[in-house]
Amino acid sequence: MLFINLNIGLGVKLNNDTLRVVKVALYYSRVLYNHSRYRDAIIFCEELITLLQGYEEVPINSLYFVLSESYRMVSDREEAVLNMEKVLEDVKGLDTSEIADAHLELALAYYKIGNFPKAQEHAKKAIVLSPKGSALSLQCQAILASELVDSECKKKLYRIEKKARRQKYTWVANNILLTFADQEDLNENKIKLYDKVIETSSRGYNHIRAT
């Protein structure tokens, strides 16, 4: 693990050299996440947040974002929700797409823990902020399909999965397959669904949910 001593104290404005070091540290937090080193990312982000809390020059919400994503990927959904809510407490410095991403992450986390009203609330907010027909919009539509009765829900999810696959939004299509797999008993069909997710998943950052 990388430890950083920035030699700063509370109330001291960060100089340009220190800000450059902070920028590298923020980048490194994302590198850890992108290389699936989720537990290292959690430790690193928490240490950095403690060190940098209170400095207005530092986009601390970007650390909370990586921290939340990392907690979700190790299936600690309560911490994932807690830290992503902190991102939205102060959206200063975030653009519209980043705010939409934060709402999507919360929608996925709440959906997984079974809090469907909160999942739908954040999915609706993300749709408003995202381009029509985008991957994010389709994923949120899939979450909102849970409002429908079982048969209608499945029909809509199948339609969204096909559209996502056509548009090469693989992570959206695979999230829907994981939802179908969740509804199956341990049988051949469940294994086939998992196999298809593994076969079509690509490396790199995405919003595919932790099982």
- CA of residue 87 relative to chain centroid, distance: 12
pLDDT above 70 covers what percent of the chain? 90
Tokens for 145, please give them.
């399909």
pLDDT in tens, 34-76: 999 999 999 999 999 998 887 877 888 999 999 999 998 898 9
User: What pLDDT band is residue 209 in, cutting at 50, 70 and 90?
Assistant: low
pLDDT of the residue at 210: 53
* pLDDT reported for residue 204: 40
**Cα gap 149→3, rounded to integer Å:** 51
Question: What DSSP line would sit under 132-201, residue for residue?
Answer: TT-HHHHHHHHHHGGGS-HHHHHHHHHHHHHHHHHTT-HHHHHHHHHHHHHTS-SSHHHHHHHHHHHHH-
| Direct distance between the N- and C-terminal alpha carbons of the chain, in angstroms, rounded to an integer | 26
Average confidence (pLDDT) over 109-121:
91
What secondary structure letter does DSSP report for 125?
A: H
Rounded Cα distance, 194 and 197, in Å: 5
* pLDDT of residue 110 exceeding 60: yes
pLDDT of 35 reads: 95
Contacts of 136 (CB under 8 A, 6+ apart): 100, 101, 104, 126, 130, 207
pTM score: 0.78
Residues 170 and 201 sit within 8 Å (Cβ to Cβ): yes
The pair of structure tokens assigned to 71 is 């907690």
Mean pLDDT within 173-198 = 89
Kindly indicate the confidence band of residue 208, based on its pLDDT and cuts at 50, 70 and 90: low
Contact 44, 29 (CB under 8 A): yes
